[in-house]
């Protein structure tokens, strides 16, 4: 059995990339040092912040809430609250919500829950079904991602948040990086940095990823140590996503050449630098959606576009005619996509 590189006690974690092993105590020190270093390096938080932690109830976001809540006890200018988005996924979300409630109540953390059904009009399960009936080409993760990001920004702003922290770990980020390389979507790659922005839209709340340099394996161990993970985790829609395959591929790669995930992260940072120099991705969040008034990368935001395609949102002829040219054309195209079978 491996021994802790620091104290020689039995190790609970071996980092193959660095060759270091840690016992529980020294793993937690290593983890905390690493996250705090990331937060400093990318200037994620100022001395006075209302940090809204975006929580799904899964191990990564619960670990992040636990970590920031504890850290905030030592930073007088910080307030940490939690925002849970309930997509309405049967047989999955009910369990993670229970874990979330237990934690926020035990720790006296203010929170808000925002549901797809209340805000969008339908649960994700219903939306997926509607999309299939209309013959739309999207995977469940597309609807979920678009509506979740939309509600996250809106709700965090309404809560008075100055910054939103999400639980994305290194694995999530390099998976998305590869997915966007395959999709040839370089503007999205620019947005994969540890801090989103700079955005000057007054309705946009800055997003940060404190676990940017932490492996999924490490957030899992952190969650297990703190009783935030009991093994039941996987979203039923996950195997349908392209991410599922990419994740498997990267894990096999890491198995063969330890450190591959870190290399991919460094590659992403280089790519972001080069793309920024070419002005790619700069138009992000520059628009205000002509329908809902939320910040958007397009004249009509992705959430409103999807709602139009699904028939959830209907606009009168008059309203459509009154829209600015570019926005009107986007609305008409979205309605057409929804009609096509
Ligand atoms: Zn030790
Ligand atoms: Zn909109």
Rounded average pLDDT over 270-286:
83
Q: 198 preceded by cis ω (within 30°)? A: yes
Q: Please tell me whether residue 237 adopts helix, strand or coil conformation.
A: coil
Distance of CA 283 from the midpoint of ligand 2 (Å): 17
Distance 9 CA to ligand 1 centre (A): 6
Write down the pLDDT at residue 88. 83
Task: Give the count of beta carbons closer than 10 Å to the beta carbon of residue 83.
Answer: 22
pLDDT (tens digit per residue) in 81-104 = 999 999 888 877 777 888 899 999
The pLDDT assigned to 107 comes to 96
Compute the residue count for the chain.
341
Average pLDDT, the chain: 92
Query: What is the distance in A from the centroid of ligand 1 to the CA of 1?
Result: 14
Q: Which pLDDT band, with edges at 50, 70 and 90, does 249 fall under?
A: very high
CA of 34 to the centre of ligand 2 (A): 38
Which tens digits make up the pLDDT trace of 63-87? 999 999 999 999 999 999 999 999 8
What is the whole-number distance in angstroms between the Cα of residue 227 and the centre of ligand 1? Answer: 20
- pLDDT tens digits, 290-330: 999 999 989 999 999 999 999 999 999 999 999 999 999 99
Cα 7 to ligand 1 centre (Å): 4
- The encoded tokens of residue 317 equal 């002829």
Domains and CATH numbers, the chain: 1-34 (no CATH), 42-277 (3.40.50.620), 287-339 (no CATH)
pTM: 0.92
257: CA distance to ligand 1 center in Å? 26
What ligand has the least distance to the C-alpha of 291?
A: 2
Q: What are phi and psi of 282, to 5 degrees?
A: -75, -20
Going by pLDDT thresholds of 50, 70 and 90, the confidence category of residue 285 is low
CA of 239 to the centre of ligand 2 (A): 29
Task: Tell me which ligand sits closest to the C-alpha of residue 5.
Answer: 1
334 CA distance to ligand 1 middle (Å): 57
Give percent above pLDDT 70 in the chain. Answer: 97
Helix (H, G, I), strand (E, B) or coil at 258: coil
Residues 223 and 59 sit within 8 Å (Cβ to Cβ): yes
- Residue 288 and residue 294 in contact, taking contact as beta carbons nearer than 8 Å: yes
Among all bound ligands, the one having the nearest atom to the CA of 28 is 1
Ligand at shortest distance from the CA of 21: 1
For residue 57, how far is its CA from the centre of ligand 1 (angstroms)? 29
DSSP for 59-74, please give it: HHHHHHHHHHHHHHTT
pLDDT at 150 over 70: yes
């Amino acid at each position: 059995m491996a021994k802790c590189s620091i104290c020689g006690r039995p190790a609970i974690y071996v980092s193959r990339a660095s060759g270091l092993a840690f016992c529980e105590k020294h793993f937690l020190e290593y983890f905390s040092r690493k996250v705090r270093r990331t937060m400093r390096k990318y200037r994620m938080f100022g001395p006075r912040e209302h940090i809204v932690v975006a929580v799904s109830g899964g191990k990564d976001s619960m670990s992040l809430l636990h970590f920031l809540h504890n850290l905030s006890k030592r930073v007088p200018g910080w307030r940490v609250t939690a925002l849970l988005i309930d997509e309405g996924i049967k047989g999955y979300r009910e369990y993670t919500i229970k874990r979330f409630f237990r934690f926020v109540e035990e720790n006296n953390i203010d929170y808000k829950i925002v549901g797809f059904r209340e805000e969008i009009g339908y649960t994700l399960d219903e939306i997926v079904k509607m999309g299939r009936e209309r013959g739309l080409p999207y995977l469940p993760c597309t609807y979920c991602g678009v509506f979740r990001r939309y509600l996250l920004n809106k709700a965090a702003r309404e809560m008075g948040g100055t910054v939103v922290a999400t639980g994305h770990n290194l694995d999530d980020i390099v998976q998305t990086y590869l997915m966007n390389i395959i999709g040839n979507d370089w503007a999205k790659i620019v947005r994969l940095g540890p801090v989103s922005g700079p955005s000057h839209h007054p309705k946009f709340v800055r997003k940060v990823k404190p676990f940017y340099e932490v492996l999924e394996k490490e957030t899992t161990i952190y969650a297990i140590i703190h009783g935030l993970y009991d093994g039941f985790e996987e979203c039923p829609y996950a195997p349908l996503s392209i991410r599922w395959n990419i994740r498997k591929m990267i894990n096999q790669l890491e198995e063969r050449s330890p450190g591959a995930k870190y290399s991919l992260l460094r590659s992403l940072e280089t790519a972001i630098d080069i793309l920024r120099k070419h002005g790619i991705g700069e138009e992000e969040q520059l628009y205000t959606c002509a329908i809902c008034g939320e910040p958007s990368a397009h004249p009509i935001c992705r959430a409103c576009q999807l709602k139009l395609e699904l028939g959830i949102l209907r606009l009168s002829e008059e309203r459509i005619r009154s829209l600015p040219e570019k926005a009107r054309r986007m609305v008409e195209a979205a309605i057409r996509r929804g009609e096509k079978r």
